[in-house]
Each structure stands twice: as structure tokens, then as C-alpha cells.
Amino acid sequence: MQLDSGSCIQGRVLVKNTGLKKIGKFKTEIITIKELEKGYNISYSNEYKTKKETKIAVIPVGYMDGFNLKNQRDSFSFKNNVLSVCMEIKKIFTRPKLRVNINGKDYNVLGRLGMYHTVIDITGTNDISVGDEVILNVVPLYTNINIRREYI
């Protein structure tokens, strides 16, 4: 089965800690695998530079598809504005890793997301190939309307 950019099975839980499980998945496939030498720049503004020889996989999904988009904070109240500033300061010191799942294992995304693609670090693995399924966490409300949906 060939997927141009991905397919999305939607569902969401509005209240946390209810014992309910997430039912929505965003699936796509690896389109390219490459070996990059040490010092190779990846993503917009060369945000990431490889520290060693790195094996990467590329998937045809980016922020245009809704990957890594989140709810924006309410900026109407003073309390929320203060909270927003604190959270932005925290981001300076702790950079959360964006991850995807390939063949049951989680892998880190390298650099910034592209508009239409994402680069994944698969260094040290030999059991991943072009066409393997990749599962991403997305917020269904922000998933691009052109992504094919399957309801089960």
C-alpha cells in the first residue's frame, strides 16, 4: 500500500487520566534511508549538525500535515500570560524530543520539522527499510484536511 503523505485514524480523549486509551493514529511510510557523515547539517537554518556518522530515514509528513501542532495557550488572562512566559523560559533549558514509532520502537526526530517531510535518526538499526510503517502522535483536530481518514 502506497501512502502519499499519510493516513489518519482519528479519535481523542478530552479528559486525562480516565483509563481510556488513545484510538487515533497517524500512519505513513519511510520514503528514503541515507547515511550521513559527521558534521552534516539537517533541517531549516541548519538547526541540527550530525555529531557522528548518522543513518536517517525520511518520511513524507511535516508540520503542514499537522505533525507536532498543539493547542495554543489562551493569552487573554494575566495568569495564562505568566504561565506562557514560564513555559517558554523552560524550553530554553529543556528541549523535549519529538519521537516516532517504527516497527514497535521509538526513534528521535532530528532538527526542525519540514513543511512536507521529517528526518528521523535510525542509527544503529539494520531492520528498517524503505516502505516500513511509521506511526506518529498527532492532534486529530490539527491534521491536514487532505489526509485520508479511516474510521473503524
| Residue matched to cell numbers 528498517 | 128
pLDDT at position 3 is 41
Range of the domain at 58: 7-149
Q: Please check whether residue 2 lies inside any domain of the structure.
A: no
pLDDT at position 72 is 58
CA pair distance 134, 101, nearest whole angstrom:
6
Mean pLDDT of the residues in the chain? 80
pLDDT at position 81 is 79
Q: Please check whether residue 76 lies inside any domain of the structure.
A: yes
> Over pLDDT 70: what percentage of the chain?
74
Q: Please check whether residue 108 lies inside any domain of the structure.
A: yes
CATH number for the domain spanning 145: value is 2.40.37.10
Structural domains in the chain (count):
1
Q: Please check whether residue 114 lies inside any domain of the structure.
A: yes
Q: What is the pLDDT of residues 101-114, one digit of tens each?
A: 999 999 999 988 88
Residue 130 pLDDT greater than 70, yes or no: yes
CA pair distance 73, 75, nearest whole angstrom:
6
Q: What is the pLDDT of residues 10-60, one digit of tens each?
A: 444 455 566 666 666 789 999 999 999 999 999 888 888 999 999 999 999
Q: Please check whether residue 52 lies inside any domain of the structure.
A: yes
State the first-to-last Cα distance of the chain, in angstroms, to the nearest integer: 18
Q: What is the pLDDT averaged over residues 67-85? A: 71
- Choose between 38 and 70: higher pLDDT: 38
The amino acid at residue 42 is I
